Structures are given as structure tokens and as C-alpha cells.
């Protein structure tokens, strides 16, 4: 089975050719640089960029895979969650390609794609798996006892972890996207310089609005010169608090479920401090997995991975399928 997959949910335009079993023949992703000047993603700008990039990116993915369009067995695309205009570009383009070559198509949940990114790096891994899905738009603890069965144990009640990184980075005068910038800067700082408060919401839910506000007040209470002198320390202290909150809830879930496998997926899983603390602390009580870096952020290969298994189970989407910007894991 060979799938051409597309991902256009936010500000990455991506196309990938994936074949059974989870073999990536190509994975071409273009991050839209247009948003840097705005300090965040502008939906209309994203949609127009996807329209301009989707065909060149798809052609490049086919060329790198060494295949032509007619050799594809099915077409997959993200249909939610995400920016509705951006999603529609991928959906309309994907449906059109499928109709032209006479193949079935399938819409894939972007969040499910992140879960399946794990199997691109560990194709022999089997459920059950406890996931921490942590990205710019989502922070969730998900239990997958078997393929395509999901139980969302907890999620953020306000900002996603990646969103908090971006907002605090902006407070610190760092460029967008802020997550990688804080990670880079924090390596030069002291994570124990200042203890920002950790949220105490119940169950397995998360909250990051409090720490964001705490950083804002901390910067207001100190001079600009002080902040500039200790910028790396502030970044490291903030990052430590976020990682601690993610880690504590994940440990709690591991103990409740007696989970033997934990996977950390999504763009924030690239954070070096998160990887260090999860591997060191959580790694003492269970097995911890991270996808390879190229599969952590938004990419089409992860969409293709989920699509492969759904196609192989005889599933396909109707022509009436449309974008669902608020789609959740089912």
C-alpha cells in the first residue's frame, strides 16, 4: 500500500509518500516564513501560502520518492483540527488529485497523525501506549489501548504548552516561533534561578495561563536591565516549570494505568530539557519513546502513517467530507 499524504492544518505545507509498513519514501515540509514579521500565524496569510506551495511541494515529494502520481494507491489529508482556510486547501487539493487518478481518499485527524508519528520511528511497536501530545495548539494525555481507540485522560484548560512558550518568548523579546528560541537560550541559563509557580489543577488536566501571567508580572517587577542581564536564567526557569508540570501529570498517569510504554509526540517534544527530564526521571519507571525530530512537528508523513492503517482496514472518506477546525480525538 502506498499513500500520498498532505498536511496543511497551520503554517507548514507538507507532502509525503509513505508505504507499508510505515516506510517513508519522502517527506517534504515547508514552514511559512511569512508569519515571522507578525509574531504569530495569520490565518489568511497561511491559506494563501498553502495555495501557492501545495503543488510544488507535492511534486517534490513525488520526485524524491521516485514515484509518479498514478502509482499511488490512495490520497490522505488532514481535515482537522486547525485553521479552516488552511485545512480547506489540503482537502480540496487532495480530493482533486484522488479524483484525477481514480483513487480513494481519506481525511485524517491531525492529532491522530501526531500519535502515529511514533510508528514512523518504531514500526514494530504495538499498543497499549500512553501518549503525551504536546504542541503549539494542543496538550493532552491520551491512552491508546489498541489502534484507533483513544481515551483522553487530560488536556489543557487554557493555553497549550507550545502556545505558552511562544507567548513568553514574545515577552522576552525573542523571535517567533518562540519554543526553539527559549530552548536555545535556556541552555545558557540556570533553571533554579527563579521558581515560577506550577499549576495545581486536578486530575490529569493542565493549565499554563498561570505561569504565563507569573512571568509577565516578574518582568514588570524588575528593571529592563535586570531582565536583559538574566534573560537566559528567566527562560530556563520558565522552561523548567513547564517541563515539571508535563512530567508530573505524565508520571501520575503512568502509575494509575501501569503503562509500560510512554510516547511524547508533537512539536514541543523536540525541547531538549523535556527530553532530558523525561528520559531521566520517567525512564526509571517505564519505557519512554520520542519520534525522530523530523516527525515531531507538523508533517505529512505522520498523516500518511495513520492513513495507511485506515486504508488497510478498508476505510475511506466520502466526497462530502469537509474541514472540522475543532475536531477532537474520537
For residue 35, pLDDT beyond 80: no
Domain boundaries, the chain: 2-116+295-312, 126-293
For residue 17, pLDDT beyond 80: yes
**Domain 126-293 in this protein, CATH class:** alpha beta
**pLDDT tens, position by position, 86-143:** 999 999 999 999 999 999 999 999 999 999 999 999 999 999 999 999 998 999 999 9
**pLDDT tens, position by position, 258-297:** 999 999 999 999 999 999 999 999 999 999 999 999 999 9
2-116+295-312: which CATH topology?
Answer: Nucleotidyltransferase; domain 5 (3.30.420)
**pLDDT tens, position by position, 176-203:** 889 999 999 999 999 999 999 999 899 9
Q: Residues 6 or more apart from 104 whose CB is under 8 A from it?
A: 74, 75, 98, 311, 316
Say if pTM beats, i.e. exceeds, 0.75. Answer: yes
Fold match between 2-116+295-312 and 126-293?
yes
Q: Residues 6 or more apart from 173 whose CB is under 8 A from it?
A: 231
Distance of alpha carbon 75 from alpha carbon 199, whole angstroms: 42
Report the candidate in 299, 326, 329 with the shortest Cα–Cα distance to residue 80.
Answer: 326
Cα end-to-end distance, the chain, whole Å: 25
Amino acid at each position: 500500500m502506498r499513500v500520498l499524504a498532505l498536511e496543511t492544518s497551520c503554517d507548514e505545507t507538507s507532502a509525503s509518500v509513505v508505504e507499508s509498513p510505515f516506510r517513508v519514501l519522502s517527506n517534504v515540509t515547508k514552514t511559512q516564513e511569512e508569519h515571522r514579521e507578525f509574531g504569530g500565524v495569520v490565518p489568511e496569510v497561511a491559506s494563501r501560502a498553502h495555495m501557492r506551495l501545495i503543488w510544488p511541494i507535492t511534486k517534490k515529494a513525488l520526485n524524491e520518492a521516485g514515484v509518479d502520481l498514478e502509482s499511488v494507491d490512495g490520497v490522505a489529508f488532514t481535515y482537522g483540527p486547525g485553521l479552516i482556510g488552511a485545512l480547506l486547501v489540503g482537502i480540496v487539493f487532495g480530493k482533486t488529485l484522488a479524483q484525477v487518478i481514480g483513487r480513494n481518499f481519506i481525511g485524517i485527524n491531525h492529532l491522530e497523525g501526531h500519535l502515529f508519528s511514533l510508528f514512523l520511528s518504531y514500526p514494530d511497536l504495538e499498543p497499549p501506549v500512553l501518549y503525551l501530545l504536546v504542541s503549539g495548539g494542543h496538550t493532552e494525555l491520551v491512552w491508546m489501548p489498541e489502534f484507533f481507540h483513544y481515551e483522553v485522560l487530560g488536556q489543557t484548560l487554557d493555553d497549550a504548552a507550545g502556545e505558552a512558550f511562544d507567548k513568553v518568548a514574545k515577552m522576552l523579546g525573542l523571535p517567533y516561533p518562540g519554543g526553539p528560541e527559549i530552548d536555545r537560550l535556556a541552555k545558557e541559563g540556570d533553571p533554579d534561578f527563579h521558581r515560577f509557580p506550577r499549576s495545581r489543577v486536578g486530575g490529569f488536566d493542565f493549565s499554563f495561563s498561570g505561569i504565563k501571567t507569573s512571568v509577565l508580572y516578574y518582568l514588570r517587577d524588575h528593571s529592563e536591565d535586570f531582565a536583559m542581564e538574566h534573560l537566559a536564567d528567566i527562560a530556563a526557569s520558565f522552561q523548567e516549570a513547564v517541563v515539571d508540570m508535563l512530567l508530573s501529570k505524565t508520571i501520575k498517569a503512568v502509575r494509575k494505568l501501569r503503562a509500560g510504554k510512554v510516547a511524547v509526540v508533537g512539536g514541543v517534544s523536540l525541547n531538549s530539557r523535556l527530553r532530558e527530564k523525561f528520559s531521566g526521571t520517567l525512564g526509571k519507571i517505564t519505557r519512554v519513546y520520542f519520534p525522530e525530530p523530523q516527525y515531531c512537528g507538523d508533517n505529512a508523513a505522520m498523516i500518511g502513517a495513520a492513513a495507511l492503517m485506515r486504508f488497510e482496514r478498508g476505510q475511506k472518506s466520502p466526497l462530502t467530507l469537509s474541514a472540522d477546525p475543532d475536531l477532537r480525538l474520537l
